[in-house]
Amino acid sequence: MARTPSNMMPLGTIAPDFTLPNTVTGDTVTLSDLKSDIATVIMFICNHCPYV
């Protein structure tokens, strides 16, 4: 597996608006669909990689 440096944003960074497909349902998901008043954690992971 190739070594890839992380591009992590600092904790507390305000998330930019986004629109992405839900890979399970095919529906479109936006930040406003997921956003909470307390905290929102968004993880971009690969759903077929055994190392995730």
Mean pLDDT of 16-25: 89
pLDDT score of 5: 78
Mean pLDDT of 9-13: 83
Surface-to-core class of residue 31, CB atoms within 10 Å of its CB (0-12 exposed, 13-18 middle, 19+ buried): middle
CA 34/CA 36 separation, integer angstroms: 7
b/e string for 21-30 if b means 16 or more Cβ within 10 A? Answer: eeeeeeeeee
**pLDDT mean across residues, the chain:** 83
Q: Greater confidence, 17 or 48?
A: 17
What does pTM read for this prediction? 0.55
pLDDT score of 1: 57
